[in-house]
Amino acid sequence: MALILPAGFPAVEHLKAEHISIDGPFPGPFSDPFFDIMGEQKRPVRIAVLNLMPMKVTTETDFVRVFADFPYLVRLDWMKVESHVSKHAPAGHMERFYRNFSEMQGEHYDGFIVTGAPLEQMEFEEVTYWEELQRIFDWAHRSVASTLYICWAAQAALYHFHGVRKYAVPEKIFGIFPHRQLHPECPVFSGMDEVFLVPHSRHTTLRREDILAVPELTLLSEGDVPGVHLVMAGDGREFFVTGHSEYAADTLDNEYRRDVSKGLPIALPQNYYRNDRPADGPLLSWRTHGQRLYRNWLERYVIARNFQEHA
């Protein structure tokens, strides 16, 4: 199915090299509910993405790759914070493809995604846009059927809503790690194996006892090395994901080589390179489960809820 993206969006050209084509957009007008009695989709699923990552185009491409695989018409709208200017993205790119939260908060969105950010070694209150971010979190809780908070954003949202702290780890959690389902009956795991692989790249972690101490939270999956992986609030209003199932095959390789070139202390990403040799390249082992996780969120918690509201 097609994705609705801004004209000239760079991710479209990047994905052509992977033989992924982005059709559409389809002409309007659109109306509620999502589907007619024949099962034909009548309007796009609207997802807002607050992209806090410094390398904007890389992150955009990751998410376009994910949603291009689904049999739904999806519109992705890109949000930025007003109280911070990205140092790594050209101003023209931000002006052309992104809008401020203040411009978007009055519109209807079915789902919301907040990406990670390289801020995990700072206290949340030290982040220059923390107050604005908290307003965005509260807006999403009131206005959107379901929100995915990823990596640092998961830690930030858990702290904001539930007072859950993050903790520094002695060695970076870096690589591809197995995770086990703790609640396989949860629809977010539909069609997934009980053990699945997820990329991680972070210097902080969450403690399972802190999650279990909050009645509104359910710990859905974890791994021996990365610890807490997927947490759900209530019946799926929010999901907090500490890993990066959307990552491209070469993302950890790029991070590793970047740090090596800077002379920073960095270990090989675990379970990532063929034969543990960077020269042999990475082994892509997580994409199938990653795609399934995002599709289950979209179908079971975004589309289903909005359909019920308008049926």
Cα(79)–Cα(296) distance, integer angstroms? 23
pLDDT over threshold 50, residue 27: no
Cα(124)–Cα(38) distance, integer angstroms? 48
pLDDT over threshold 80, residue 308: no
Q: With beta carbons less than 8 A apart as the criterion, state whether 219 and 162 touch.
A: no
Rg (CA), the chain: 19
Model confidence at 69, pLDDT cuts 50, 70, 90, reads confident
Q: Give the closest residue to 164 by CA, choosing from 82, 231, 255, 116.
A: 231
198 or 19: which leads in pLDDT: 198
**Residue 8 pLDDT:** 86
**Residue 28 pLDDT:** 47
**Residue 54 pLDDT:** 87
The residues that are catalytic are: 151, 244, 246
Domain boundaries, the chain: 3-170+180-249+286-310, 250-283
pLDDT over threshold 70, residue 91: yes
**Residue 236 tokens, joined:** 């799926």
Cα(50)–Cα(149) distance, integer angstroms? 10
Q: Give the closest residue to 299 by CA, choosing from 11, 41, 9.
A: 41
Residues 6+ apart with CB under 8 A from 225: 173, 175, 177, 270
Cα(145)–Cα(48) distance, integer angstroms? 12
pLDDT tens-digit readout, 179-207:
999 999 999 999 999 999 999 999 999 99
Residue recorded with tokens 């982040």: 127
pLDDT tens-digit readout, 259-302:
999 998 899 999 999 999 999 999 999 999 999 999 999 999 99
**Residue 310 pLDDT:** 53
Fold of 3-170+180-249+286-310: Rossmann fold (3.40.50)
Dihedral angle over CA of 108, 113, 119, 121, nearest 10: 120
Please classify residue 38 by burial: count the beta carbons closer than 10 Å to its beta carbon, then call 0-12 exposed, 13-18 middle and 19+ buried. exposed
Model confidence at 309, pLDDT cuts 50, 70, 90, reads low
Most distant CA pair in the chain, distance: 60
Is the bond preceding 33 in cis, omega lying within 30 degrees of 0? yes
